[in-house]
């Protein structure tokens, strides 16, 4: 099985470390970025299969990063991480091509299952997208 690449974009170090550990132990090649500029450099150089993207990042926010990711490569799957109450942004993110979102604090097992489904579940996973 080829190693899928997962990029974690969050300005909170603790969340990045947690998600890196979880997805490394699932067998994915993981990358992390604390801001949009770094995230997009990794998207260009590594072509990750999936990006876990925090909505609220200082500087370039999640929606901006999402637009750029999709402009670089439409096929990259993006799952948003949001704070409670960011519903307007979630709607916009979905329209921009995000597959689903998790509200913080999220259940790490649900996140793990969702990522596995997106990357290993074949083409039948679109019906699971939240918010459509």
- Give 87's pLDDT tier (boundaries 50, 70, 90): confident
The residue ranges of DSSP E strands in the chain, in sequence order, are 5-9, 29-33, 50-54, 77-82, 100-103
φ, ψ for residue 80 (rounded to 5)? -90, 145
Tokens of 22: 């979880």
Which domains does the chain possess? 5-127 (3.40.50.2300)
pLDDT in tens, 36-49: 999 999 999 999 99
What is residue 84's predicted lDDT score, i.e. its pLDDT?
A: 78
What is residue 31's predicted lDDT score, i.e. its pLDDT?
A: 98
Query: Is 83 a residue whose pLDDT tops 90?
Result: no
Q: How many helices and strands (H and E) does the chain possess? A: 5, 5
Contact 101, 66 (CB under 8 A): no
């Amino acid at each position: 099985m080829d190693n899928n690449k997962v990029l974690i974009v969050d300005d909170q170090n603790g969340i990045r470390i947690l998600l890196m550990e979880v997805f490394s132990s699932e067998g994915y090649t993981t990358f992390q970025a604390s801001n949009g500029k770094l995230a997009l450099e990794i998207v260009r150089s590594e072509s990750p299969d999936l990006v876990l993207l925090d909505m609220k990042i200082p500087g370039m926010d999640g929606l901006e990063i999402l637009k750029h990711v999709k402009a670089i490569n439409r096929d990259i799957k993006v799952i948003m991480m949001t704070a409670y109450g960011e519903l307007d942004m979630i709607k916009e993110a979905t329209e921009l091509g995000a597959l689903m979102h998790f509200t913080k604090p999220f259940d790490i097992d649900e996140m793990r299952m969702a990522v596995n489904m997106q990357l290993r579940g074949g083409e039948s996973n679109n019906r699971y997208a939240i918010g459509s």
